[in-house]
Amino acid sequence: MYEEIIRLVNVSKSFNEQQVLQDINLSISRNEFVTLLGPSGCGKTTTLRIIGGFEISDTGDVIFEGKKINNLPPYKRKLNTVFQRYALFTHMDVYENIAFGLKIKKMDSKDIDRKVKEVLKLVNLSGYETRDIDSLSGGQQQRIAIARALVNEPQVLLLDEPLGALDLKLRKDMQLELKKIQQSLGITFIYVTHDQEEALTMSDTIVVMNDGKIQQIGAPQDIYNEPVNAFVADFIGESNIIDGVMVKDYYVEFAEGGFECVDKGFQPNEKVDVVIRPEDIKLVPVDQGMIEGVVESVIFKGVHYEMLINARGLRWMVHSTMMEPVNTKVGMNVIPYDIHIMKKVIAE
Amino acid sequence: MKKHLLAYPYGLWIVIFTIIPLALIVFYSVFTTDAAGIHFTLEHFKRVFEPIYLSVFLRSMKIAAISTIVCLLLGYPMAMILAGKNLSKKSILVVLFVIPMWMNFLARTYAWMTLLEKNGLIAAALGFFGISVPSLLYTENAVILGMVYNFLPFMVLPIYSVLVKIDKAVLEAAEDLGAPPMTVFRRVIFPLSLPGVSSGVIMVFMPALTTFVISRLLGGAHFTLIGNLIEQQFLTTRDWGFGAALSVVLMLMIMFSMGIAMRYEKENEGGGLW
């Protein structure tokens, strides 16, 4: 069931004559976990701030439940935000922080008590009501920030790199916890991050952005397996990106050779980017390989080894659980399905 | 190398300029000399609590309090305006605000005398429009005006320095949670700025309570505040014992009021002036 809750229509924004967002069109449905993913300066945070009402777009519309909310101030919007550095009220204790929004709504104090208790339980911080904000660890402050937003039962929760300041282990735990909270409460999450792994782990839909433009919108699997251009391929996971020529349908030439592939619909002899994931290259004995190369370096990455292989004047990154020593001659094989052909992005 | 040797000049400074003068004041306040020599007395302190002098204390407190409140009411919005502007305009505003402070304090106050006097600029301007005013100079209001004018920067700067340190994201968070601008101010900005307010209040209240120049110049010869009273004892009537007792009481009052204000100041959160 797809029920739209937020839509951005042709949203553009510039700061000091520098365009940070260009024609953003995005539709977000109820209960969806959407991640805005991109490198810093790509416009993802600005997009979030426009949805939250902290920035006003220069052109275009923000539509919430069918109504234009372009100029509605943040305090009148039915959504809440978890800020990057938590932005907790240091002059209040945990209880007062969480109760802030409810008190403004003039809710009965008994209901406030009950709701604060509930939400503290949800973020695993029961009993912390009277603690000072300064006495909490980063992870705990983060949970309070989430609780403070969730207690208002928003229909949409905006999260601006909320896990950025936490260490790796804590971040992984919080990722799963956030996902669990989102599913159990049935709220729409709009999540901003530059961490592609985080995006892949948590999202229903990923919106990849670069230079103020949306590059690709899709489910994590689709984005990973079928990136639309070399930028997305490179940003989501590691990639070998090679110049190639699409000679005809299902046949591409690159790295001084011709290869079968599964793509079609390009101009004859169109110049393309060929993208091959490092884990899709299989290392085989030299005589069985499509391409022959020499191992240049090996790095142990935990689950796999990352090897750079010099072949036909190019450097190929290969991920494999089997290690080949430096200076070994190896053969490399790729099946046609794993050769991704992308239109060249024409530089503007 | 003994590091504590480096502290000796500082210790010497404290002894010469703080401890010895303080000890002398206390000494003069409780000892008196007569034919029999030097002996202990509480006479000076008894005189301090005579009604005529108590009324001077009360008037000084009242005027200092009014000046402080007016400074706060004017200074807080001013500090907010300064803290709100973008950087380039802000530094110009700060400079504009600080420039009068470079002028000599006496010169600034004399300037007000010529503005306020009977045929001064303000009376002339008002007269031009057919409004006649009673004497502006040598009134209580003139003294309060002089205090506000001279001490306003001491209110604005500590509040300003606290306001600019408030994380904008915290204000956005309050707005995000449903607080309209006035509520954001009342529930977040103002409470977070209290350390600056208390610094500012102390910085204005203390000189306002002790000044004798402003009250002399703008209040006239008969307008007596504690500062004037103490000055008289030392310079005119030469009753050093009584003057010292007045100073000790004044000091205790200031320590008491600072103690109250300090309760709002958490460590390292002050206006950067204490």
Planar angle of CA B104, B107, B112, nearest 5 degrees = 130
- Mutation target to probe the A interface, by most A beta carbons within 10 A, among B177, B187, B265 is B177
Distance CA A305, CA A283 (A): 12
Give A143 to chain B, closest Cα distance, Å.
15
pLDDT band at B268; cut points 50, 70, 90: very low
B169, B177, B192 ranked by CB distance to A100: nearest = B177
- What's residue B271's pLDDT? 43
Give A105 to chain B, closest Cα distance, Å.
8
Cβ contact B169–A104 (<8 Å)? no
Cβ contact B177–A84 (<8 Å)? no
pLDDT band at B34; cut points 50, 70, 90: confident
- What's residue B75's pLDDT? 94
Q: Which two tokens stand for residue A170?
A: 């804590």
Residue A141 sits at the chain B interface (C-beta within 8 Å): no
**Measured CA distances, A18 to A50, A61, B46 (Å):** 16, 20, 74
B167, B177, B191 ranked by CB distance to A80: nearest = B177
A101 contacts on B by Cβ (under 8 Å): 177-178
- What's residue A348's pLDDT? 44
Interval A134-145: pLDDT, tens: 999 988 999 999
Tell me which residue of B168, A315, A297 sits closest to A306, measured CA to CA: A297
Is B111's pLDDT higher than 60? yes
Average pLDDT over residues B138-148: 92
Give A69 to chain B, closest Cα distance, Å.
15
Which of A55-69, A116-130, A173-187, B118-132 shows the lowest mean pLDDT across its residues? B118-132
Cβ contact A85–B167 (<8 Å)? yes
Interval B48-95: pLDDT, tens: 999 999 999 999 999 999 999 999 999 999 999 888 866 667 778 778
- What's residue A158's pLDDT? 96
pLDDT band at B273; cut points 50, 70, 90: very low
Cβ contact A81–B180 (<8 Å)? no
Q: A171: which residues sit within 8 A by CB, 6+ positions away?
A: A163, A198
pLDDT band at A237; cut points 50, 70, 90: confident
Cβ contact A100–B172 (<8 Å)? no
Measured CB to CB, residues of chain B less than 8 Å from chain A are 167, 169-170, 172-180, 183, 187-188, 191-192
- What's residue B269's pLDDT? 46
Would residue B37 be called left, alpha or beta, if left means φ above 0 and alpha means ψ between -120 and 50 degrees? left
**CB contact at 8 A, B270 and B199:** yes
- A221-228 long-range contacts (CB < 8 A, ≥24 apart) are A224/A200, A226/A340, A227/A275, A227/A340, A227/A342, A228/A342
- What's residue A347's pLDDT? 52
B177 contacts on A by Cβ (under 8 Å): 75, 80, 100-101, 104, 148-149, 152
What's chain A's average pLDDT? 91
- What's residue B95's pLDDT? 80
Q: Which two tokens stand for residue A274?
A: 């060929």
Interval B166-197: pLDDT, tens: 999 999 999 999 999 999 999 999 999 998 99
Residue A75 sits at the chain B interface (C-beta within 8 Å): yes
Residue predicted with more confidence, B35 or A252: A252
**Measured CA distances, B74 to B1, B113, B235 (Å):** 53, 22, 36
A75 contacts on B by Cβ (under 8 Å): 175-180
A84 contacts on B by Cβ (under 8 Å): 169
Give A92 to chain B, closest Cα distance, Å.
9
Which of A8-17, A266-275, B3-12 shows the lowest mean pLDDT across its residues? B3-12
Residue predicted with more confidence, B37 or B23: B23
B180, B191, B192 ranked by CB distance to A75: nearest = B180
What's chain B's average pLDDT? 87
Residue A215 sits at the chain B interface (C-beta within 8 Å): no
Give A80 to chain B, closest Cα distance, Å.
6
- What's residue A230's pLDDT? 86
Cβ contact B173–A87 (<8 Å)? yes
pTM over 0.95: no
- What's residue A112's pLDDT? 96
Is B270's pLDDT higher than 60? no
- What's residue B272's pLDDT? 42
**CB contact at 8 A, B203 and B154:** yes
Is B22's pLDDT higher than 80? yes
Give A144 to chain B, closest Cα distance, Å.
13
Interval A31-76: pLDDT, tens: 999 999 999 889 999 999 999 999 999 999 999 999 999 999 999 9
Is B10's pLDDT higher than 80? yes
A91 contacts on B by Cβ (under 8 Å): 188, 191-192
B170 contacts on A by Cβ (under 8 Å): 87-90
CA Rg, chain A, in Å? Answer: 24
Which of A152-166, B112-126, B148-162 shows the lowest mean pLDDT across its residues? B112-126
Residue A54 sits at the chain B interface (C-beta within 8 Å): yes
Q: What is the DSSP letter of B189?
A: I
